Amino acid sequence: MSDMMTTQAGDAGAFRHFDLNRVPAPCFVVDKKAIERNLSILSGVGTRSGAHVLCALKAFSMFSLAPLVRQYLAGTCASGIYEARLGREDYGGEVATFCAGYKGADIDEILSLSDHIIFNSPAQKNRFLAKAQAAGVQVGLRINPEHSEGEIPKYDPCAPCSRLGMPVSQLTAATLTGVDGLHMHTLCEQGVEPLLRTWEAVQPKLAPFMSRLKWLNFGGGHHITRDDYDRDGLVAFIRDIRKTYDIDVYLEPGEAVALNAGILVGEILDLPTNGMNLAITDISATCHMPDVIEAPYRPALMGEAEAGHTYRLGGPSCLAGDVIGDYTWDHPLEIGQRFVFLDQAHYSMVKTNTFNGVPLPAIALWNSETDDLKIIKQFGYDDFRQRLS
Ligand SMILES: Cc1ncc(COP(=O)(O)O)c(C=O)c1O
């Protein structure tokens, strides 16, 4: 979840048939079959359009599935030195790294791990250009198309005074010295229409420079694996760009790789009342689903009833605002009962933390076709302690 949403749409899919008592709680359970379905759709778009489709590790970096991802996608996009290393070492294929600010101390390692290094400003590009060229790494510049398609400024890289990307109105031949490609990332959980409108707005400003570019990278935010996404429209758009300008096109979907492919299983710990029914759970908004507070959004509960028994769910931490939301069941809750938040494979697992020493959720891989289940990882006290000193 990288966007402002009040309520997430719920699609339980095969998880309806998953026995929640097969895993410890809390636990992320990812359905390999659902990931493979998404990857196959993305790979189809790549094949039909000729685009290089990279997996955005910031959204989903469950590296135990790297061999599967590699079968379908061209590589990964990284947000900095650690993701670049994960992409290079575990996933293989191409690694495109974009970071809003690179440090001199890291640049040699980042270059050794990346095929593309994308800079956020001409100043950063100029500072590291010679090193990138000497390392044989292609150089990109992120632009800000100055065309907003997002409604919430916090999530809009084109909002006034955004620090992300060089405003396209500042583009000159000099700013493009040594640049092989341009990058733009402005969408969030969106269809193809906002992409087309963005291109329409930015294309006239890029036209004078297109002949010197080797590639265009349209970032992430494309909800390509959603049922109602116009994939034919995207394929036609990319084919047209490739043909018109004779360049390569890159896409960096993250959420689309793991959309509707994972759940977070929790357990009810206590059922106090204070003006309404409350439920304390072992899932913490602030530790396990921080976007619930940060975005904010209301994660979908599997099997939520329209009417019945409503509880305000919150985590075990001391934070008064560690509240997930108000949810309704068709039966009264019981202590020890399991429950599930849907669509938690992306932007939750990558954002967990151990504030208050709250234990991290385990990670399990399930195959909804074979019913095979593996608990991939369980965390303990050492994971909490090693981040402190
Ligand atoms: C540069 C860049 N690429 C790719 C992505 C992945 O976006 P999404 O997960 O929405 O597809 C993001 C998300 O913030 C991003 O900033």
Average pLDDT, the chain: 96
Q: Are residues 291 and 245 in the same domain?
A: no
- Which of 2, 60, 188, 344 to mutate to test ligand 1, by most ligand atoms within 8 A of the CB atom? 2
Answer with the one of 243, 258, 273 that is the final residue of a domain: 258
Select from 97, 252, 294, 297 the residue to mutate for testing ligand 1; criterion: most ligand atoms less than 8 Å from CB.
Answer: 252
Residue 128 domain-assigned (yes or no): yes
Say whether both 237 and 325 belong to one domain: no
Q: Which atom of ligand 1 is nearest to the CA of 252?
A: 4
Q: State the DSSP H helix or E strand holding residue 231, giving kind and residue range, or none if neither.
A: helix 231-245
Domains of the chain: total: 2
Q: 311 and 231 in one domain?
A: no
**Are 199 and 248 in the same domain?**
yes
Residue that is written with structure tokens 């297109």 in the block: 210
155/253: higher pLDDT: 253
Show the domain range for 334: 262-385
**Residue 368 DSSP symbol:** T
| Domain finish residue from 202, 225, 258 | 258
User: Would you give the DSSP letter of residue 365?
Assistant: E
Same domain, 166 and 74: yes
- Cα 333–334–340 angle (5° rounding)? 65
- Cis bond before residue 296 (omega within 30° of 0): yes
Does position 1 have pLDDT exceeding 70, yes or no?
no
Question: Does a structural domain hold residue 75?
Answer: yes
Write the pLDDT tens digit of every residue in 55-88: 999 999 999 999 999 999 999 999 999 999 999 9
pLDDT for 6: 55
- 77-83: long-range contacts (C-beta < 8 A, 24 or more apart)? 77/220, 77/252, 78/113, 78/114, 80/106, 80/110, 81/106, 81/109, 81/110, 81/113, 83/57, 83/58
CA–centroid distance, residue 116 to ligand 1 (Å): 16
pLDDT tens across 313-367, in order?
A: 999 999 999 999 999 999 999 999 999 999 999 999 999 999 999 999 999 999 9
Looking at residues 112-141, what average pLDDT do you find? 98
Q: CA 336, CA 259: separation in Å to the nearest integer?
A: 29
Ligand 1, pocket residues at CB < 6 Å: 2, 56, 58-59, 77, 98, 185, 188, 219-221, 252-256
Q: Are residues 182 and 293 in the same domain?
A: no
One domain, residues 213 and 325: no
Same domain, 331 and 267: yes
DSSP 89: I
Rounded-to-integer distance, Cα 84 and Cα 90, Å: 10
CATH assignment of the domain containing 177: 3.20.20.10
pTM of the model: 0.96
